[in-house]
Amino acid sequence: MKALLDHARSLKRRVDFESGEYRKLAEGQSPEALFITCSDSRVIPALITGAGPGEIFELQNAGNIVPPYGQPGASGEAATIEYALEVLGVHDIIVCGHSHCGAMSAIRAGDDLSRLPGVDAWLDLARPRLAPVLEATPTGPSLSDVVQLNVVNQLAALRSYPSARQRLDEGGLRLHGWYYEVDTGQVHELDEDGLFRVHAA
């Protein structure tokens, strides 16, 4: 924690906040994309995308889950998605799953999460659409297959939001599915044929 505190305390000395770039940020934000990914500490959106301050709007939670539109109760995820679309007018939304994902691993293994009732309830949002694949074979799919299917499912959940659906119909919004390998740094992109592939830079 000391290193984190020291870094935060020295930020003003390390970064030129008097520059025009940072003064412009104080006037408002206009990020290019909403980046939805896991809250896993190894997944850092700015590291993956190379984005600087103000370039991406971020939403991170366990398992990069998008609650279906109209889910009862307040939702930070729904609020963030609505704000990104209706106020910031982002043109792209990326849902990025990752290797070694604890949330998807727990679903795949059928772990007993009774000691983590909040986690268990949260993962219930993802379980139903993963169940058919998990039950398809005796050994079940690989973790990467589960993570990638979850990305596809969350993109479908995004389409349930009226503001997203309208923007998609009008051609003003693009959805992207990514799978990030923590140990290699490779990013697999969801292609139109439903497969995740690594594309050359």
Instruction: Summarize pLDDT for 125-178 with one digit per residue, the tens.
Output: 999 999 988 887 777 899 999 999 999 999 999 999 999 999 999 999 999 999
Distance CA 80, CA 95 (A): 14
Mean pLDDT, rounded, for 30-35: 97
Pick 182 or 17 by higher pLDDT.
182
Q: Which residues are annotated as a binding site for Zn(2+)?
A: 38, 40, 98, 101
Annotation: binding site: 38, 40, 98, 101
Query: Where does CATH 3.40.1050.10 sit in the chain?
Result: 31-197
Whole-prediction pTM value? 0.93
Output the CA angle 127-158-179, nearest 5 degrees. 70
Q: What is the pLDDT of residue 130?
A: 96
* 183 vs 200, more confident: 183
Contact 87/28 with Cβ under 8 angstroms? no
Most distant pair of Cα atoms in the chain: their distance: 60
Report the CATH superfamily, name and number, of domain 31-197. Answer: Carbonic anhydrase (3.40.1050.10)
Q: At what angle do helices 102-109 and 143-158 cross, to 10 degrees?
A: 110
